[in-house]
Structure 1
Amino acid sequence: MPFAIYLLGLAVFAQGTSEFMLSGLVPDIARDLDVSIPSAGHLTSAFAVGMVVGAPLMALLSRRFSRRRALLAFLGAFLLVHVVGALTTSFAVLLATRVAGALANAGFLAVALVTATSIVEPNAKGRATSVLLGGVTVACVAGVPAGAVLGEVWGWRSAFWAVALLSVPAVLAIGRAVPAGTAGAPDATAPSAVGELRALRGPRLVITLLLGALVNGATFCTFTYLAPLVTKVTGLGSGWVPVVLALFGIGSFIGVSLGGRVADVRPVPLLVGGSLALLAGWVLLAVTAASAVAVLVLVLVQGALAFGVGSTLISQALYAATGAPTLAGGFATAAFNVGGAIGPWCGGLAIFAGLGYRSPLWVSALLVTAALVIGGAALGLSRRGRPVPARWRGHVATRRRRRR
């Protein structure tokens, strides 16, 4: 893999830390800025909305600039809003910085996905995607716990300063290492924005994005409610929650690493087998949630399966969107963030309906089941409509004559 991809992964690590670190900082922010905890929780929702809306819009905007310039602009804006967030004493300003940071994050990730897959061999998109998304998984394992520790020792503002400082070397390195190739419109050979939007309507791409949203929704449906599951159902103390979250993060890193090696060679077996195993794992975890050993093992396994399948779907979306080289990354980012927003919402509805803290696991199983049904139907239709290879035509004709 080109070194530039690992530098992009460093920036994604900083951004992933920012996206998830608020889970441990909300009480401190609420107390410091004199707002309620539910109000402070809106900071997370604002970031999610910014990611969903911002990914396609920022990808479209980036067509005016070279990829390197677009990456530097988005990462520079991301750095700046975290400095403002660390300095402000106004909750409204902090809320605005979360939206702005999400827009910058979405734009960066959209361009980074396209950049990473364009500087490797045409058949290595899965490996490039896995390296890039490895930054998100490392953020879950190391960045988020580190942010929580910083917030505990030096206050929530120190976590914002840490994210800004992490972004500085990424800005400097990307400026030197990433090729200056165009992101879209400046290149006369590149498709127009209208042409890219038309290419995004392809059935294969639409199905892949839908599957990605469902699988990611299942992942974050359970991930969001792991803490009450561990303490209320499994019966472990609150001190075990960081351990369980770290195990999930370690599993996710293993999943993207191994998935990236297989995604370019045997994507369909990986997606089918991985999704079936993922479904079985959610059901098994729901049934055995009272067992501490089962939970600790299955959380690791499910993290690996969820991110292995999820990262493969992202790479397949990029393979399917060759006619939309600029916007493909933006729509893939948006689809997965739609899943990240809908999954926890569905899990919350199940809990509020009185179904207990195991219910998000069953919701995750239902979402993966939906993905399997839709994916299976799409695969069956595509095979039914596939033309007979030329080398088989004579054999088929002979068999038909014999039947007559």
Structure 2
Amino acid sequence: MIDFWIGAGLLLLAALAFLLLPLLRGRGVQAEEDRTALNVALYQERLGELATQQAAGTLEPEQFEAGRADAARELLDDTEGSTSRRSNHLGLAVPLIAAILMPLLGYGLYLHWGASDKLQLAREFTEQPATMEEMVGRLERAVKAQPESAEAWYFLAKTYMSRERPADAAAAYQQVVKLAGRQPELLGQLAQALYFAGDRKWSEQLQQLTDEALRGDPDEVTSLGLLGIAAYEEERFADAIAFWERLVSTLAAEDPSREAIQGGIARAREQLGEPASASVAEPAGEMIAETGAGLTVEVQLAAEMVDKVRPSDAVFVFARALSGPPMPLAVKRLTVADLPATVNLSDADAMTPQLRLSNFDQVRLFARISKDGDATRGEWQGSSEPLATRDSDGITLTIDQPVTP
């Protein structure tokens, strides 16, 4: 920003020059006027002397006229070429006051109509953020500086979802819908954020949002996936199959999420006692047993944390895809009293049937302590480095760090 203020300062100096230079010129004009006034006074004094001499009888009328002509000629010679003239300038006070008020007025107008905050943000976005928290901060400042930008609100909402802040994401999506209109895709994503912000409980509001989204676009993928999840968790397996089959039919053959959705359909059919369809069933050799294969992790509490937690506090051990949705892929719940403990995370611990641990190559593991039992927020946690889902040996999580917002 320093180059901006340097430029503004130079422009201000130029503006002040227009005000102050006439004052400097005014001094010369005043000196010229004083000289002219002196010449006129001397001319009048000379005429007075000639009149006195004529009255005393020492000058003849012809001599008097000749002397007055000489005095007039001298006056003309002294004032010839002079640029002085009577002017109606405002004096010194008004320009000086204007010179003082101009910077203050310009600064105030810039604060009201200027955009230094937007300029600074534009420069920040040309640099790669060091952390996700820094990226969130930039987007929050962006929507503050440009509250009318639907695009800025949309990116902020997506980032909130990736940071497991569904309530904040829902508020941001509401702003997007307000600015960009009730587009089916936005309504589906708003419903998804509200669903996870409301502890995964279905409501009339969510039903209305998804219904409106599907009326606008019968193939709106977020709404179809969300309706399938809600139906499955309410054990309405036939409805879940119907929604997910509609979703699969809209996806491209190479879409990586097809396999996860087809796996969910197969599990829903198993719950209904139906054989898995050949089109959605997974090859037996590729299936992971729900009670064995997966990631085995040793969870322990750092010694310095013992006095900061209670034995009854909840401990959530979960895996999150390194590149994928923000929702955990597999979760198990313990208490502090259970630690240290050995935990196995597998597809049996999946939160949703279409998001399974075996569908992703790399994950990160977390162990989080939450006093109020809410897995989306907590007080202390430990995390692993990115690891392959088949690396099931020697994984240890030590809970020793505060949870950052």
Higher strand content, 1 or 2: 2
**Alignment TM-score > 0.5, same fold:** no
Relative to its length, the structure with more helix (as a share) is: 1
Return the TM-score normalized by structure 1.
0.21
